[in-house]
Amino acid sequence: MKLTLGFSPCPNDTFIFDAMIHHKIDTEGLEFEVFYDDVETLNHKAFDVNLDITKLSFHAFAFAVEDYALLDSGSALGFGVGPLLISRDKITPDLLRQDPAGYTEGGRPLKIGIPGRFTTANFLFSLAFPLLTNKVEMVFSEIEDSLLKGDIDLGLIIHENRFTYQDKGLKKVIDLGSFWEEQTGCAIPLGGIVIRRELPGEIKQKVNRVLKKSVEYAFENPKSGIEFIRQHAQAMDEEVMYKHIELYVNKYSVDLGAEGRKAIKLLFDTALSKEIIPDLKEDIFLNE
């Protein structure tokens, strides 16, 4: 059986899926037609139910939960892995909360570059800075340059940009992952792998098993997919590639377990309490 599969070209995703799509493991008769897109594009594909299996932001998942269920493997959760809010000049979180336009000429509203409305990064930003609402959506890789050119006042960065912003002279305002951890004591859930609910139960469980084997293979053979990972990592050097993988691929990627499920449920409960997401009509997780 051939299934459509969407994930990002970022190293953490290509690392996870390499063995699965290149048949380095037993895929139990499954074939995959792969689509590579940035996470916000994948979020919108999920809203349109365009793919059988896809990576998406946990924030976006709340708007697609009627059509998709979360698989046990492949998720990105962790401590110290959250999105960063950055600026050209040194500025403190307290200043932003007390006087959101205090350091702009004429006190105009601050313009914030975000990697997508439905990203978990934007959700966390909204929790930390509810008064900062003048947002501009852009591809995550364009945010640093837009900040340097003065097109935006603040940038919300994800993925490998957390390793490059300082080299460009940009300053960290706050690590929103740390903000979440201090508030909750839980790992921050960023993104997960979901599967269409309407697929037969046998197929869903088969994908669940195969994906876990793919992640386990990647950990056991970390250099196996190096050419595939490099092919999609654009100009990223190998050191940054593996820093990226180490940051976002961990025990929760192998299996969420009780701890990972608790963190995800807390994220959804918090979003519901703030009326950021609609009421959930389905269980988040894939049932046996």
Per the annotation, does 57 bind a ligand? yes
d(CA 139, CA 286): 30
Q: Which of 22, 44, 59, 159 is catalytic?
A: 159
For Cα atoms 12, 13, 15, give the angle at the middle one, nearest 5 degrees. 65
Q: Quick one: DSSP state of residue 38?
A: -
**233 annotated ligand-binding residue:** no
Residue 45 host element (H or E): helix 39-47
120 is in an annotated binding site: yes
Residue with tokens 């492949």: 74
Active site residue 244: no
Q: Report residue 117 as tokens.
A: 């409305």
Helix (H, G, I), strand (E, B) or coil at 178: helix
Residue type, 126: S
The DSSP output letter for 190 is E
11/96 Cα distance (integer angstroms): 33
**Binding-site residue positions for substrate:** 55-57, 120-121
List residues with catalytic annotation: 159
**Binding-site residue positions:** 55-57, 120-121
